[in-house]
Amino acid sequence: MTTKLRSGFWRQSLLIAGLFAIALLALNFLIFDTGIVAVVLLSGFYQGMLFFLVAAGMSIVFGLLDVLNLAQGSFFMLGAYVGFAIYNALPEGTPITVRFVAALVGAVVFGGVLGAGVEIALLRPLYVRPIFQIVLTFGLATAITELVRGIYGPSGLVPVEPPAALNTTIAVMRGQFETYRLFIIAVGLVLMIGISLLLQRTRLGIIIRAGVQDSQMVEALGINVRRVFTLVFALGTAVAALGGMTAAPFLGAYPAMGEQFLLTAIIVIVIGGMSSFEGTAIAALLVGLTRATVEQISLQYLNTPILASISILVFMVVVLLVRPTGLFGREA
Amino acid sequence: MTTSLLAKRSGGRLALLLALALLLIPYLHALATGQPETGSAGLAALHSRAESVYCAKGSTPTGTILLVETLLIAVATLLARGWKTHGNPLQEGLARHGPYLFVFLLLTTIPFLLAWRTGSSACTRGKAFFWESVFIDVFILAILAISYNLLFGFAGIVSFGHAAFFGMGAYTVGLLMKHLAFPWVAAVIVALLVGVVIALIKGVVGLRIRGLYFALFTLAFAEVFFLLAGNRILVDITGAEDGFTFAVPDFLNMTKNRLFFYYLTLVLMALAFWLVRRLMGSPTGQVLRALRDNEERARMLGYNTFTFKLIALVLAGILATGAGVLRGIALKGASPNVLGVGFTFDPLLATIIGGIGTFSGPVLGVFILRLVEQMLRDTVLTLGSVQIDIGERWALILGVIFIIIVLAFPKGIVGTLQEQYRRRKGG
Amino acid sequence: MSELLEVRNIHTYIGQFHILQNVSFDVPAQSITVLLGRNGAGKTTTLRTIMGLTPASAGVIRLNGIEIQNRRPYEIAQMGIGFVPDYRAVFRQLTVEENLRLAERKPGDLQRKLGFIFQIFPDLERLYHWPGGQLSGGQQQMLAVARALVPDNHLLLIDEPSEGLAPVIVEQMMEAIRQLSDQTTVLLVEQNFHVASHLADRYVIIEDGRSVHHGQMADLVADRGLITRYLAAA
């Protein structure tokens, strides 16, 4: 019985998401030229992918560990800083491509190792007091931000130069679009597909999907769930750090970027339904598109960039009113 | 039974009367012995008589009287606690309320103690004057922490957006007085109403969605205000990221009337403390506690949990907004940082350091945090070759302290002490 | 018969409630032992304590002579204990195959056992690629038991296998348990005395968190007095 309901619930969720996307598109075509629509769409996808990179780990971690990692934005920011440090530390004469790739790899490794450390040292003692875990990650976010501010100063670093092929623009219809944004979209897509393959096709994926429902039973089947917790947490923070370094040649690195992306990521996972991976991916893109559309509207007509931030908050509130557990959330 | 209950009640009233009497004595003494300022008349002349006494530099009779009273109360309280004759209202009152009376009197004495120790005046620029402003800041933040603890510690509602109340309090009162020329009373009332409205919106929209969703919802909610306050489109009204300043009536002007402002915030803090204590002792408070411990069970017992949570949220909202109003008036201005995450983090940190779900914990937490910060502000710690400028790294140090306390002392200072006291008594 | 599982004087708290207050019994190898007792006596907690899910605060539990009471649940499982909880913890999002695969302890476990599993639960073959959430209650119970059969377990802890099932399914489940008990030892919690008396060789009665009686099932069936005293509905 419940399963029949569930699949109905799912179809309904998809329908809502789809209708919303279509409505956004229609709005775009109504008010903008086609050339601009293309730019808005690409910009929406690029923003959505960045949100996805922060939110993906949060959502999976929340599903499995029941921990909402409010320090995820800080890992995103740290990824950018660590990447920059590696990029700039390589000896003179190193080709830009090598620097860039090394920065990406370094960010991933750093994010993963630090994430594993945080899970083992800080979160593990607190599984008996769940609310304190969230409170702790909130404090951790503050500490990390202040640490970075202390080391690098409050104002942030100048963006590093990406490889030449990614550092140019191409004409899309009548608009201009930076190739670097396409790179961000590609990175996001690869991870989206990669993570869903991991979840659907591998033993780790089976464990994660089972653990979301009942991690105690998974442990009773002979699986060291705590080790899986650590691994999943580390994967989540590694992806966030990769996201930070991916965004950095575009946005630079500054202490407040963590907080900014955290807020949007929270909105994304709340809309997506907290622990649903598909929900998070879809919500990230919808939020990106909404932001891009409203940004364009305000650029063209109102000249107030703040509307974009407010629009996604309104989006979230509306979703919560219609679906108190988010679009793809577990039924309450 | 009945007599001791009666004694308890009238004991509370007696303690309050005693407090008022003890506070009047030094003022009356000052009135009697002071010299009026030349050229003043009527009430102003009378008041200037008193001022001439307690505003003197260094040691003042007012300070001496207050200090003696404080010590007397301390002794009397200890005696009242030692004697076990039931039914004497004064003894009951002192035994129960004496410690609070003592702390209150001590805080009343502090400006004069400072003036005495630093050889400055409690009313004009100088060291005592400066430290009074630190304490004013502490009192305001203590109200915010009391409000946070009401939600988090007693009702079990986690909010990451408490700054919305605080900041909107400061902004509303300032904007109304600056742009619409509201008299201060009206501006304060409207600001508190804004707090109520925010609480109702948060409650009606947010409390339907449970637990974490609510916490996230509040975080996002506060961010909207933060973004709006710092935005350039509103620059003519709010001054965008620089904020704005506004004029306040003389008697509320902290630069001119600091000692008065000190007592005003102290009394308001005491009121907030008393209010939450009363609330948690009432049937409503019992339900809130039950809610926090097991919402499902409270619901099965037939309580409308939504209503009770809404009550807690609105009360906490009023207190936090009130703290923001005070902050706005104290600084005669507001800037977006009053809406920032910091003013959610600070009360959370104070509550956790002091002790979640204890009455005095959050207040103690704020005192420790702010006073230690003030004392260490210019200290540079040298560890081998590493130099740590404590003032500059304060936020980082706080973050680390916070993590350690959450991990190692989840009950905070007051909670841990209470537990040890209980264990010693039990064992 | 040697003792596969020895439970000695265990005490378990859940929160501040003292649920098990001295439980002791043995499970001989190659037997079916059933825990009997009224609702809330502590039978489920006993199984969960053996599994390490609600660890004992005092007492000793030995599996094949090795103490396990301080080990984590996954270690206990790896030592050869399979657990079938009373709430049919079938993973709803996972297919039947994935549910079974999850229980593998080394690659190939499932391949080796699949024939046996399909033999005792023929339904599962047909439902192999269905999501667990779409199975009926009886099918979920079968899957939960089958999952415990995937690795080489010495001992199966099965909690209320007949609860909430139609009589036909109960018969099927009893037959299945009888078949699997040829290969492994079983410790059962069962409220249905008819089921318990037909399946088990030995019984342990738990009352108010204490083990109060144990012996051969055949003796218990013959002893009306004992049954009335401990098992009749209060």
Read off the pLDDT of residues B175-230 as tens digits, 9 standing for 90 and up. Answer: 999 889 889 999 999 999 999 999 998 888 777 666 677 888 888 888 888 888 88
Please write the tens of the pLDDT for every residue from B16-43: 888 888 888 888 888 888 777 776 677 7
Q: Is residue B229 part of a domain?
A: yes
* pLDDT recorded at residue C78: 95
Please name the member of C77, C98, C131 whose beta carbon is closest to the beta carbon of A220: C77
* pLDDT recorded at residue B7: 59
Measured CA to CA in angstroms, residue A211 lies from A36, A133, C94 at distances of: 44, 18, 11
Chains C and B touch (3+ CB pairs under 8 A): no
Task: Please tell me whether residue C205 adopts helix, strand or coil conformation.
Answer: strand
Instruction: Name the minimum distance, in Å, from the CA of A98 to any CA of chain B.
Output: 34
Please name the member of C78, C89, C105 whose beta carbon is closest to the beta carbon of A217: C89
Lowest-pLDDT choice from B88-92, C179-183, C187-191, C221-225: B88-92
Q: Domain tally for chain B?
A: 2
Q: Which helix (H) or strand (E) holds B102?
A: helix B89-118
Domain that holds residue B60: 1-124
DSSP assigned state of C5: E
* pLDDT recorded at residue C234: 46
CA B69/CA B138 separation, integer angstroms = 24
* pLDDT recorded at residue A160: 86
CA C147/CA C99 separation, integer angstroms = 7
Residues B119 and B143 in one domain: no
Which chain A residues touch C88 with a CB distance below 8 Å?
A: none
CA C19/CA C22 separation, integer angstroms = 9
Residues B88 and B168 in one domain: no
Strands C155-159 and C58-63 come out as unpaired
Please write the tens of the pLDDT for every residue from B372-402: 888 877 777 777 777 777 777 777 888 888 8
pLDDT band at B6 (very low <50, low <70, confident <90, very high): low
Q: Is residue B85 part of a domain?
A: yes
Which residue of chain B has the CA closest to A311? B224
Which residue of chain A has the CA closest to C73? A220
Interface test with B, best of A66, A142, A294, A311 (most B CBs within 10 A): A142
pLDDT band at B295 (very low <50, low <70, confident <90, very high): confident
CA A270/CA A72 separation, integer angstroms = 15
Among C103, C27, C106, residue whose Cα is nearest residue C61: C27
Determine the residue type at B46: L
B355 and B183 in contact (C-beta within 8 Å)? no
pLDDT of B419 strictly over 90 = no
Strands C202-207 and C210-216 come out as antiparallel
Helices (H) then strands (E): counts for chain C: 10, 10
Q: Do C73 and A206 touch (CB under 8 A)?
A: no
pLDDT band at C71 (very low <50, low <70, confident <90, very high): very high
Residues B149 and B257 in one domain: yes
* pLDDT recorded at residue C233: 58
CA A239/CA A224 separation, integer angstroms = 23
| Mean pLDDT (whole number) for A101-107 | 95
* pLDDT recorded at residue C148: 93
CA B214/CA A316 separation, integer angstroms = 12
Place of tokens 């690195």: A253
Please write the tens of the pLDDT for every residue from B39-83: 667 777 777 877 888 887 878 888 888 888 889 888 888 888 877
CA A295/CA A41 separation, integer angstroms = 12
Interface of B with A in 240-299 (CB under 8 A): none
Lowest-pLDDT choice from A169-178, A262-271, C69-78, C143-152: A169-178
Helical H runs in chain A? 2-31, 34-65, 72-89, 96-118, 130-152, 179-201, 203-220, 225-251, 257-272, 277-297, 306-322
Q: Do B215 and A134 touch (CB under 8 A)?
A: yes
CA A198/CA A214 separation, integer angstroms = 19
Q: Is residue B420 part of a domain?
A: no
Please write the tens of the pLDDT for every residue from A278-306: 999 999 999 999 999 998 888 888 766 67
Among B237, B296, B257, B323, residue whose Cα is nearest residue B111: B257
Domain-by-domain residue ranges, chain A? 34-322
Determine the residue type at C106: K
All chains having 3 or more CB pairs closer than 8 angstroms to chain A: B, C
Q: Do C91 and A210 touch (CB under 8 A)?
A: yes
Q: Do A140 and B349 touch (CB under 8 A)?
A: no
Percent of chain C with pLDDT over 90: 63
Domains recognised in chain C with CATH numbers: 3-230 (3.40.50.300)
| Phi, psi of A43, rounded to the nearest 5 degrees | -65, -40
CA C180/CA B265 separation, integer angstroms = 75
* pLDDT recorded at residue A4: 43
A180 and A251 in contact (C-beta within 8 Å)? no
ipTM of the complex: 0.91
Residues B111 and B199 in one domain: no
B158 touches chain A (CB under 8 A): yes
CA A37/CA A27 separation, integer angstroms = 10
Please name the member of C93, C103, C134 whose beta carbon is closest to the beta carbon of A209: C93
A143 touches chain B (CB under 8 A): yes
Strands B244-245 and B333-334 come out as antiparallel
Please name the member of C77, C94, C147 whose beta carbon is closest to the beta carbon of A209: C94
Task: Please tell me whether residue C27 adopts helix, strand or coil conformation.
Answer: strand
Please name the member of A2, A203, A223 whose beta carbon is closest to the beta carbon of C74: A223
Which chain C residues touch A226 with a CB distance below 8 Å?
A: 72
Determine the residue type at A331: E
Instruction: Name the minimum distance, in Å, from the CA of B205 to any CA of chain A.
Output: 7
> Among the CATH numbers 1.10.10, 3.30.70, 1.10.3470, 1.10.405, which is that of A34-322?
1.10.3470
Instruction: Name the minimum distance, in Å, from the CA of A225 to any CA of chain C.
Output: 8
CA B75/CA B82 separation, integer angstroms = 11
Encoded tokens for B46: 């009378």
What are the percentages of helix, strand and coil residues in chain B, rounded to 5? 75, 5, 20
pLDDT of A5 strictly over 50 = no
Chain C interface with A: residues with Cβ < 8 Å: 51, 53, 72-74, 77-78, 83, 85, 89, 91-94, 98-99, 101-103, 105, 131, 133-134, 147, 151
- Decide which of B93, B124, B155 is a domain's last residue: B124
Which residue of chain C has the CA closest to A211? C91
Strands C3-14 and C17-28 come out as antiparallel
All chains having 3 or more CB pairs closer than 8 angstroms to chain C: A
Residues B108 and B149 in one domain: no
pTM, two decimal places: 0.84
Instruction: Name the minimum distance, in Å, from the CA of A313 to any CA of chain B.
Output: 7
Q: Classify C164 in phi/psi space as left (phi over 0), alpha (psi -120 to 50) or beta.
A: left
Interface test with A, best of B148, B204, B212, B306 (most A CBs within 10 A): B212
Encoded tokens for B274: 């008393």
Mean pLDDT, chain C, integer: 90
Which residue of chain B has the CA closest to A141? B399
| Phi, psi of C39, rounded to the nearest 5 degrees | -55, 135
CA B117/CA C47 separation, integer angstroms = 69
Residues B213 and B76 in one domain: no
Q: Do A263 and B402 touch (CB under 8 A)?
A: no
Helical H runs in A252-305? 257-272, 277-297
Please write the tens of the pLDDT for every residue from A43-90: 999 999 999 999 999 999 998 988 889 999 999 999 999 999 999 999
Encoded tokens for B330: 């104290």
Strands C3-14 and C58-63 come out as antiparallel
Helical H runs in chain C? 43-51, 73-78, 96-102, 109-120, 123-126, 137-149, 167-180, 193-199, 217-222, 224-230
Give Cα A97 distance to the centre of its chain.
25
Q: Do A220 and C134 touch (CB under 8 A)?
A: no
A327 touches chain B (CB under 8 A): no
* pLDDT recorded at residue B306: 84
Q: Do B406 and A132 touch (CB under 8 A)?
A: yes
Which residue of chain B has the CA closest to A130? B212
Strand order in the sheet with C185-189: C81-84, C155-159, C185-189, C32-36, C202-207, C210-216
- Decide which of B124, B152, B176 is a domain's last residue: B124
Which chain C residues touch A213 with a CB distance below 8 Å?
A: 91-93
Q: Do B392 and A150 touch (CB under 8 A)?
A: yes
Please name the member of A143, A304, A332 whose beta carbon is closest to the beta carbon of B399: A143
| Residue C208 CB coordination number (10 Å) | 13
CA atoms in the 13 A half-sphere facing the CB of A330: 12
CA A310/CA B227 separation, integer angstroms = 8
Measured CA to CA in angstroms, residue B241 lies from A191, B20, B234 at distances of: 37, 44, 10
Which chain A residues touch B410 with a CB distance below 8 Å?
A: 129, 132
Task: Please tell me whether residue C62 adopts helix, strand or coil conformation.
Answer: strand
B24 touches chain A (CB under 8 A): no
CA B359/CA B369 separation, integer angstroms = 17
Instruction: Name the minimum distance, in Å, from the CA of A317 to any CA of chain C.
Output: 28
Q: Which helix (H) or strand (E) holds B244?
A: strand B244-245
Interchain CB contacts (distance < 8 Å): A and B: 102
Encoded tokens for B299: 């619901």
Instruction: Name the minimum distance, in Å, from the CA of A107 to any CA of chain B.
Output: 23
Q: Is residue B395 part of a domain?
A: no
Q: Is residue B96 part of a domain?
A: yes
Which chain A residues touch B208 with a CB distance below 8 Å?
A: 324
Task: Please tell me whether residue B169 adopts helix, strand or coil conformation.
Answer: helix
Encoded tokens for A4: 């029949």
Please write the tens of the pLDDT for every residue from A183-202: 999 999 999 999 999 999 99
Q: Integer distance in angstroms from the first to the last C-alpha of chain A?
A: 16
Percent of chain C with pLDDT over 70: 99
